[in-house]
């Protein structure tokens, strides 16, 4: 079985996912094109070698619908022979796209594949693609559907994370992201988004609030309390975890991932394909895994999938230098660290989605690149990347530098 190597990674900066965000005027196609084009240009990539483009996108409707990957590949001038496929595993889509790309390479059927993702949350809107899971009664009831934020509050309640615990984590995420930007840790991977004239629209993550402190966060009201009580979701949470008397609503805009726009692309290929393209591999994708987890808690999949992927790779936690877990909500990361008794100094060392935002379909590919840059910068070897996922799933990948 051929190994799958990562040859390069690029991402756009993340724009605030609102009409006043810097990327709101940029179409989904243009966002994806920006990442794919940068990947092609900076590697002087002979796109004749590219067998497929796999892009994650969570709300693939309207301008993001109808296989955005093919449209973006064509638009980024990869040539008409490069096909594309759009995939969706909710919040992990970007990492799954890279894993799917790796799987194509490992299977020996393809040699070089681009994995990545795109989401213009400001233009398409979260939830725009609908879906049976929250709506069709049979599955919504069976799977204890509740909005992610309510599940995050359920996790905090069940595992004992207070509002202060979550806020403190958020402050740290902002601090780490700010420091990383200040020191140029992201410089290698972030490619600016420009207009048709080449004028820069955004070259920096726009969502960050570096000055955030505990008193500032204390001003924010819980985001999911009213929805949970009026919409019946508190009762759903308690039916699933009846040891809980009442949910502790700790999450708010300041300790949850930001809604943003962005895109990312990762070039994956076999050793041979890299040689043909004249590229040096940056890391090997050692293992990846997917898992389903308890759907009411919904966002604890990273714990389950980490155990699974470590086992598959024949590794232990001690073999991993850095952990990158998507900061969907503070409690998700806190639970992950609690479950494995992890030193926070090894987890999300350059901040995460609480500070910089979570462009749903792209995030997985973004944080994979972030941790790869950090391994290289610090001379470390291995990293585990994982994300929590709607409906109770987890995706993970282990990379090691070569």
Where on the chain is the footprint of other proteins (CB under 8 A)?
Answer: 127, 130, 134-138, 140-141, 144-147, 230-233, 235-236, 238-239, 241-246
Catalytic pick from 9, 57, 249, 388?
A: 388
Nearest approach in angstroms of CB 15 to other proteins is 23
Nearest approach in angstroms of CB 186 to other proteins is 35
Nearest approach in angstroms of CB 51 to other proteins is 35
- Taking CA atoms, 356 is separated from 14, 170, 197, 366, 385, in Å, by 7, 11, 27, 11, 17
Nearest approach in angstroms of CB 201 to other proteins is 28
Among candidates 386, 74, 108, 36, which has minimal Cα distance to 269? 108
Catalytic pick from 9, 207, 249, 358?
A: 358
Chain position carrying tokens 């894993």: 99
Angstrom distance (rounded) from CA 238 to CA 85: 39
Catalytic site includes residue 388: yes
C-beta of 7 vs 145, nearer to other proteins = 145
Instruction: Provide CB contacts within 8 A for 160, sequence distance 6+.
Output: none
Q: Are 337 and 285 in contact (CB under 8 A)?
A: no
Among candidates 345, 309, 349, 308, which has minimal Cα distance to 327? 349
C-beta of 190 vs 247, nearer to other proteins = 247
C-beta of 59 vs 324, nearer to other proteins = 59
CA end-to-end distance (rounded Å), the chain:
17
C-beta of 57 vs 237, nearer to other proteins = 237
Q: Are 228 and 153 in contact (CB under 8 A)?
A: yes
Alpha helices in 117-224 (DSSP H): 132-135, 137-142, 148-159, 163-182, 214-218
Nearest approach in angstroms of CB 230 to other proteins is 7
Catalytic site includes residue 80: no
Percentages of the chain per state (helix, strand, coil), in multiples of 5: 40, 20, 40
Q: Are 90 and 326 in contact (CB under 8 A)?
A: no
C-beta of 32 vs 247, nearer to other proteins = 247
Catalytic pick from 9, 91, 251, 252?
A: 91
Nearest approach in angstroms of CB 159 to other proteins is 11
Q: Are 7 and 271 in contact (CB under 8 A)?
A: no
Among candidates 194, 184, 170, 226, which has minimal Cα distance to 357? 170
Number of other CB atoms surrounding residue 116 within 10 Å: 36
C-beta of 369 vs 394, nearer to other proteins = 394
C-beta of 147 vs 274, nearer to other proteins = 147
Among candidates 399, 385, 382, 109, which has minimal Cα distance to 270? 109
Nearest approach in angstroms of CB 242 to other proteins is 4
Q: Are 356 and 17 in contact (CB under 8 A)?
A: no
User: Among all residues, which ones are annotated catalytic?
Assistant: 91, 358, 388
């Amino acid at each position: 079985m051929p190994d799958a190597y990562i040859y390069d990674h690029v991402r756009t900066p993340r724009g605030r996912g609102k009409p006043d965000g810097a990327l709101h005027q940029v179409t989904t196609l243009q966002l994806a094109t920006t990442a794919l084009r940068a990947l092609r240009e900076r590697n002087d990539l002979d796109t004749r070698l590219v067998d497929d483009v796999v892009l994650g996108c969570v709300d693939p409707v309207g301008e993001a619908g109808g296989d955005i990957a093919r449209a973006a590949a064509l638009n980024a001038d990869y040539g008409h022979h490069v096909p594309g496929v759009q995939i969706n595993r909710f919040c992990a889509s970007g990492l799954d796209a890279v894993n799917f790309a790796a799987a194509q390479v490992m299977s020996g059927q393809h040699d070089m594949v681009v994995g990545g993702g795109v989401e213009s949350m400001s233009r398409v809107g979260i939830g725009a693609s609908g879906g049976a899971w929250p709506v069709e009664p049979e599955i919504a009831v069976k799977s204890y559907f509740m909005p992610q934020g309510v599940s995050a509050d359920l996790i905090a309640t069940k595992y004992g994370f207070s509002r202060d615990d979550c806020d403190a984590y958020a402050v740290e995420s902002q601090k780490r992201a700010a420091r990383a930007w200040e020191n140029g840790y992201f410089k290698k991977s972030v490619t600016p988004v420009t207009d048709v004239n080449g004028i820069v629209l955004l070259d920096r993550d726009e969502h960050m609030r570096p000055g955030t402190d505990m008193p500032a966060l204390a001003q924010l009201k819980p985001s999911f309390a009213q929805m949970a009580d009026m919409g019946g979701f508190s009762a759903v949470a308690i039916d699933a975890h009846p040891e809980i008397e009442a949910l502790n609503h700790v999450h708010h805009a300041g300790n949850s991932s930001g809604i943003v726009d962005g895109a990312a692309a990762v070039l994956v290929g076999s050793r041979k394909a890299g040689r043909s393209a004249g590229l040096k591999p940056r890391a090997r994708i050692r293992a990846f895994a997917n898992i389903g987890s308890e759907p009411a808690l919904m966002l604890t999949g990273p714990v389950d999938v980490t155990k699974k992927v470590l086992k598959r790779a024949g590794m232990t936690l001690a073999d991993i230098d850095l952990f990158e877990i998507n900061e969907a909500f503070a409690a998700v990361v806190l639970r992950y660290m609690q479950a494995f008794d992890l030193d926070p100094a090894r987890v999300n060392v350059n901040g995460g989605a609480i500070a910089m935002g979570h462009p749903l379909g792209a995030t997985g590919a973004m944080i994979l690149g972030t941790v790869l840059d950090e391994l290289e910068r610090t001379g470390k070897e291995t990293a585990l990347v994982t994300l929590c996922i709607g409906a109770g799933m987890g995706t993970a990948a282990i990379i090691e530098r070569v």
